Structure 1
């Protein structure tokens, strides 16, 4: 995984955490390893799912696959599908053939990839192999290369967005809001879990962060995860669980309670602290995740179109 430059979603800690505490209903786990001689040269985690559309976008793109078992790579909690390989993208046909055989073994009617970045080398290779892609959703990211500090980041925004973030932080301080960055072992996951769940439900993604397993999953991520807590006079009003890999800072999920005192947005405070933490950790890319497109576009992030590529097994 490391040699191939794979994102955090493919690292052992993440995959193992998902096995220990799967955040969606997984019927079976499979891990494809491509070898050249005795050397592993490519990998591909796959997940058999009967309820294969927790975000409500797959069946919109593929209505013919509704409520049928599907073998998917990766999970929906990964928004950046790859086939990590140390020998280049030419391994993709081998992976597709193995995926089809595995789907047959599992009696899955469909198999394929979700959250493939359009225009990426991987996406282009899938198209070159005759696999049509259908748009699912967008994710948002910002290039932080050359950005020295938070004020420098603000300087790249439009005047109105820059003023809004500064005013929001000033009002938050006046209203008794504080922020803290914590390792997962010190974070208040018992408070963060329901907050993230309620926030996901507002975007019609209820159950995406189940209380029974979310805290266990986050704890299993260990040092790959950072938690940002935003409190108003001790009460948790926003929280973000952020992930890191070699080049990227992922604002992976968050929860926000807007019933606060004072005229400020806890989400705006959380966003500002996320940018600061990404810069402090020296990550050249800020991954902003999915949803909340208007805020993200206004505050320096650009869209990455994500596709689904499904095949009948």
Structure 2
């Protein structure tokens, strides 16, 4: 596996490979922030299976962190990540530093930032964007930069970050980016907890409790799928089904709910109700919950999850 740290190295590699193969080969790309787990491995394995070459990037992107968030504490495990990537037969790891990606620097205060940024209006302000106002601006900007560097045929993203995928799909479609996006299913543990780098912050007891996030979403999905023809559930009824499962953990202050959403898959517009009809647009039930660690009560981890119907 080749390891590059500059844009020039990646561009030179790609140009040389395409020249030698006369553009008959394909490149798959998996952008990550490192601390790789089985969820990342599923994306990478799919790319290796479907493409001639696979490029993975590891870059903890400052522009998607607010000044109050955990940029400095975000887990960085590059040596272990490299071992995993080599075992998965990745061709190129691109691991730039912040100066490579942001030549004018990247202070966390948006008012002090300089240079070009990408904003996807209408989608970025919803759900995650309400709590993290500049998060998707940072995501869209760094992914645009990475797409321009790697120029992959297809890029792989996990469904766990469903809003991120929807924002990036809009960006790719409407900025005419020549990289196709492929959304892969959420990888979960045996009891349904979505794998996440942030799970490392929680003790085993709190991780076990966090499995109920999926249980609540799954209960709502089952209720929707069980609707008889002509029947419906209101948005509030769907949310009540979810939060009833979580009630013991809300009462014990293990969970603090940020949001539960019932929205159209493409637009993320909240749906007033869902009906059993012959023609039903895809919808997504999603949530964000603050989980307090039982062993370290000052540690609060924000977990997200979703189910697409």
Task: Give TM-score scaled by structure 1 length.
Answer: 0.25
Name whichever structure is richer in helix by fraction: 2
Higher-RCO chain (CA-CA 8 Å, sequence separation at least 6): 1
Give the structure-2-normalised TM-score.
Answer: 0.25
